[in-house]
Amino acid sequence: MYELHKHGVVILDFGSQYTQLIARRVREQNVFSEILPPETSITDILNREPAALILSGGPSSIFGNEAPEFDKAILDTDLPILGICYGLQLLAHHQGGEVESTGQGEYGFAEIELDDNSGLFDSVPQTSKVWMSHMDRVSKIPNGWHTLAHSSNGVIAAMANEDQSRVATQFHPEVAHTEAGKIILHNFLFKVANCDPSWTPGNFIDEQIALIRKQVGDGKVLCGVSGGVDSTVVAALLHKAIGEQSTAVLIDHGLLRKNEARDCVNALKTGLGVNIHCYDESETFLSQLDGVTDPEKKRKVIGNQFIYSFDRISEEMGKMQFLAQGTLYPDVVESGVSKGKTAHVIKSHHNVGGLPEDMEFELVEPLRELFKDEVRNVGRELGLPEILIERHPFPGPGLAVRIIGDITRERIKILQEADQVYMDILHEDNLYNDIWQAFAVLIPVLTVGVMGDQRTYENLLGIRAVTSTDGMTADWFRMPADTLSKISNRIVNSVRGINRVVYDITSKPPGTIEWE
Ligand code: XMP
């Protein structure tokens, strides 16, 4: 079991904002990678049978008191090591070189020139642009090491020991701005180290099928489906692994996008033969939301009602021992590795799928090692339609947080129609996949307009589109003016109840992505 974990890469996380990116870049080359805390012991690392070790960047200074602890025995292993930024300084400092703090760092683009184009820099152009982000720098490389590249500012940009079993870059090869970053990581994985490129969606599915069967035996699994890609992929994977032993349940709270519940059920039931049941609970949810206008209260009402509905439905279905969830790797990393972080609660995110703690289920979480892009690839391999796979993230409370003020059936319908027109146009203009998340917001403020010879006095619609990698920060999408014009015209002409459209140009921060 877990054969796919072997001959991959262990990444020790010294606190870089790019650590997850390193893991993703490694996996893009079909090599398994796992992020571990910096103090992980060499025994724990070797037990995983990795083929290489990467030491990430980090905010600390190598000689400061706050420098993270690590097991010095890692420096004596036979495992090939790549140090990135702080990782380079750590290697320099602990192998007899010198690191200095000049008080003046390098941030952003730098140009490097190669001093040695073998091994790590094989097939890399003699000069290229890289992404730097560091305060300290190496002033003397360790004995027996040599410089692989230097930057035009005279900084040692990369270095290695004699046989290149220890290599290090001051810049960030994992960041897209580093022109040759992909080649450099490829060289590390396959020329410096001997990694196994077996981390593919097909192999992942085969391994998970075996693992799910082993975990579940002849038990029964309940699988909550929200319409989003993660839970849909879990349902499809479970179906492939254990067929009718798994029952997927979609609770329609009446606040999904137009046809979303239907499309999801069709794709799973008709397309893949998944045993799925959709429960229309909209009456209950909407009556609970009657008169509720406060955003946090809306979230609480929906979160609680979700639990009641789920409880009732699972009871009706008889004893289920297992509950399947679409937990992803970033959640696992955030909860495990970055311990001690204190996050300020801006909004109480209530994932529909969040369940009461006293429920007696054993969890099945087949995606807990995957990043979102990997989930999408697994979904494709399982035969899910592209429209479901590429779907933008959708908040658990759904349209409730996109209807400012009172939620009524009429308002939901107006927003669903407008949102559908907006999405159609993004697909028509081939923009949907360039955007991380796009949606419409109903702002029940009436403004005056004119249609034909008639005066109108109707609702305002906000439309929003953002680019982002994880939803934590976001920039507003530079939507082409022709597309904006098409969206506004078609919505005002075809959706009754809206006579004006505005585009939201707020980034996060200071805005949040959702309006409520
Ligand atoms: P904000 O609005 O906080 O959103 O910038 C960041 C991302 O989270 C989604 N979001 C939610 N997801 N339950 C969820 O499952 C929620 O209550 C919730 N609120 C926001 C939002 O759509 C965006 O992708």
Q: What's the domain count of the chain? A: 3
305 CA → ligand 1 middle, Å: 18
Q: Give CA–CA dist 205/211, Å, rounded.
A: 10
Retrieve residue 5's tokens: 């974990």
Same domain for 378 and 431, yes or no, is no
**CATH number of the CATH domain containing 378:** 3.40.50.620
Same domain for 310 and 365, yes or no, is yes
**Residue 214 falls within a domain, yes or no?**
yes
**Residue 21 falls within a domain, yes or no?**
yes
Same domain for 137 and 242, yes or no, is no
Same domain for 102 and 226, yes or no, is no
Write the residue with the smallest CA distance to atom 4 of ligand 1.
513
255 CA → ligand 1 middle, Å: 15
**pLDDT reported for residue 471:** 85
Tokens 């905010």 label which residue? 59
Question: Given ligand 1 and candidates 513, 515, 516, which is best to mutate, with the most ligand atoms within 8 Å of its CB?
Answer: 513
Pairing of strands 52-55, 33-36: unpaired
DSSP string, 190-225: IIIS-------HHHHHHHHHHHHHHHHTT--EEEEE
Same domain for 430 and 478, yes or no, is yes
Count other Cβ atoms within 10 Å, centred on residue 482.
Answer: 9
Atom of ligand 1 nearest to the CA of 512: 5
Same domain for 371 and 459, yes or no, is no
**Residue 118 falls within a domain, yes or no?**
yes
Domain boundaries, position 72: 6-192
**Residue 512 falls within a domain, yes or no?**
no
Boundary (domain end) residue, out of 170, 192, 214: 192
**pLDDT reported for residue 86:** 95
**pLDDT reported for residue 355:** 55
DSSP string, 259-325: THHHHHHHIIIIIH---EEEEE-HHHHHHHHTT---HHHHHHHHHHHHHHHHHHHHHHT----EEE-
Same domain for 107 and 249, yes or no, is no
Same domain for 174 and 276, yes or no, is no
**Residue 453 falls within a domain, yes or no?**
yes
Tokens 């970053």 label which residue? 181
Same domain for 25 and 168, yes or no, is yes
Question: Given ligand 1 and candidates 294, 464, 514, which is best to mutate, with the most ligand atoms within 8 Å of its CB?
Answer: 514
Retrieve residue 211's tokens: 């693992």
Same domain for 230 and 179, yes or no, is no
Same domain for 186 and 216, yes or no, is no
> Residue 39, class by beta-carbon neighbours within 10 Å (0-12 exposed, 13-18 middle, 19+ buried)?
exposed
Q: What is the CB < 6 Å shell around ligand 1?
A: 299, 346-347, 349-351, 393, 395-397, 437, 471, 508, 512-514
**CATH number of the CATH domain containing 433:** 3.30.300.10
Boundary (domain end) residue, out of 147, 165, 192: 192
Boundary (domain end) residue, out of 192, 212, 228: 192
Write the residue with the smallest CA distance to atom 9 of ligand 1.
395
Q: What's at 135, amino acid-wise?
A: M
**CATH number of the CATH domain containing 183:** 3.40.50.880
348 CA → ligand 1 middle, Å: 9
**Residue 152 falls within a domain, yes or no?**
yes
Tokens 């970055």 label which residue? 338
Question: Given ligand 1 and candidates 346, 349, 355, 436, which is best to mutate, with the most ligand atoms within 8 Å of its CB?
Answer: 349
Q: Does the N-terminal peptide bond of residue 295 adopt cis geometry, omega within 30 degrees of 0?
A: no
For residue 429, give Cα distances in angstroms to 51, 263, 320, 412, 476: 45, 22, 45, 26, 18
Q: Angle 503-414-452 (CA atoms, 0-180°, nearest 5)?
A: 75
Per-residue pLDDT of the chain (516 residues; tens, 9 = 90+): 578 889 999 999 999 989 999 999 999 999 999 999 999 999 999 999 999 999 999 999 998 888 999 999 999 999 999 999 999 999 999 999 999 987 778 888 999 999 999 999 999 999 999 999 888 999 999 999 999 999 998 899 999 999 999 999 999 999 999 999 999 999 999 999 999 999 999 999 999 999 999 999 999 999 999 989 999 999 999 999 999 999 999 999 999 999 999 999 999 999 999 999 999 999 999 999 999 999 999 999 999 998 899 889 988 988 889 999 999 998 888 766 433 333 333 444 434 445 556 667 889 999 999 999 999 999 999 999 998 999 999 999 999 999 999 999 999 999 999 999 999 999 999 999 999 999 999 999 999 999 888 999 999 999 999 999 878 889 999 999 999 999 999 999 999 999 999 999 999 999 999 999
Helices 201-216 and 372-381 sit at what angle, rounded to 10 degrees? 90
496 CA → ligand 1 middle, Å: 28
352 CA → ligand 1 middle, Å: 11
Atom of ligand 1 nearest to the CA of 347: 3
Tokens 């998340």 label which residue? 437
Atom of ligand 1 nearest to the CA of 514: 2
In the β-sheet with 276-280, what is the strand arrangement from edge to edge?
276-280, 246-252, 221-225, 322-324, 362-364
Atom of ligand 1 nearest to the CA of 351: 15
**Residue 514 falls within a domain, yes or no?**
no
Atom of ligand 1 nearest to the CA of 348: 17
272 CA → ligand 1 middle, Å: 29
Catalytic residues: 85, 172, 174
Measured over the CA atoms of residue 321, residue 326, residue 330 and residue 335, the dihedral's sign is negative
Write the residue with the smallest CA distance to atom 3 of ligand 1.
512
